[in-house]
Homo-oligomer: A and B are copies of this chain.
Amino acid sequence: MSEWIAAAQDGAILWLWQMEGGAHPLEQHSASADSPESLAETAAALMPGVGGPIVACGLPQAGFRKVPCEPLDAAPLDLASSPRRVAAIPGLAQENPAHVTQGAETKMAGFLALNPKFDGVLCLPGTETAWAHVSAGEVVSFQTFATADLARDSAARLGLRAEAWDEPAFLETLSEVQARPERLAGRIASLRAEGLLAGLSENVARARLWGALVGAEMAATRPYWLGQPVAVIGEGALAAIYVSAVTAQGAAPVQAKGQAMLLKGLAEARARLG
């Protein structure tokens, strides 16, 4: 198959992959770009000599499609044709409550291409975590949570630099705040006091902070995951936190790599280009 370039905007970072048929990257790059035209220029600068179209997700210029719908329907949207074709997968939108995806829909499309009979709930941890109810290949409804952003802000304020972790502390606070989500804001404030009064270690503080935030998120998403098969689609420590939280509900979540699902979704879109 011919060569092409996969791209994903994730917050301020633009990820680019040199592809050669299928969903397996030859090279990965990161940069910043703010328009489909500058995306083409960035790709040319980073991967000179690599031809073919750019297929992207996470770009606000691609707009949104309202759920219920398939995460990837028909061909991606052409945003530019010169100097190079740039096609982008629109995000998903829900009006009430208002939520959007910018990239998570592409991971969902990749997962459903590999697991076409999956019926249940997808949990996609990321800059924003998305929870989607999927049935018969369609996203029925979804919600997003600013949990990772809130955790990063609070960790910076608490002076937590450690990436270390205390799983029992995480599970304890998860359970506490999930049962009493009104305690969320107070539980986070307590961490500073416990540090001053009791010399709380950074790994316990970090685990309790995540426990409080994910505990509130599990309480809010209970109508999603309760009694449903759950697949967690993500990478590394962040995905592990959600696997642990879902497992604590007595469920046994399926796991899939976020980048692999993203590239599979982009490859599906690539295959639909006219």
Is A154 part of the contact surface with B, judged by Cβ < 8 Å? yes
Given A98-B198, A184-B220, A217-B185, A193-B144 contact (CB < 8 Å): yes
- A99 interface neighbour in B100, B181, B190, B221, Cβ under 8 Å: B190
A95 to B194, CA, bound (A): 8
Q: Is A85's beta carbon under 8 Å from chain B?
A: no
A79 within 8 A of B: no
A199 to chain B, nearest CB (A): 11
Q: Which of A68-117 contact B (CB under 8 A)?
A: 93-95, 97-100
CB distance from A202 to the nearest CB of B (A): 16
CB contact between A64 and one of B150, B196, B219 (< 8 Å): that residue? B196
CB-CB contacts below 8 Å: A159-184 with B: 180-184
Question: Does A197 have its Cβ within 8 Å of any Cβ on chain B?
Answer: yes
A149-B157, A196-B64, A216-B181 given as contacts; is B144 within 8 A of A97 (CB)?
no
A187 touches B97 (CB 8 A): yes
Taking the nearest CB of chain B, how far is it from the CB of A40, in angstroms?
Answer: 24
Is A57 in the interface zone, CB < 8 Å from B? no
> Contact mask A16-27 → B, CB, 8 Å, 1/0?
000000000000
Cβ contact within 8 Å between B128 and A189: yes
Contacts from A to B (Cβ < 8 Å):
60, 64, 93-95, 97-100, 128, 143-147, 149-150, 153-154, 157, 180-194, 196-198, 213, 216-217, 219-222
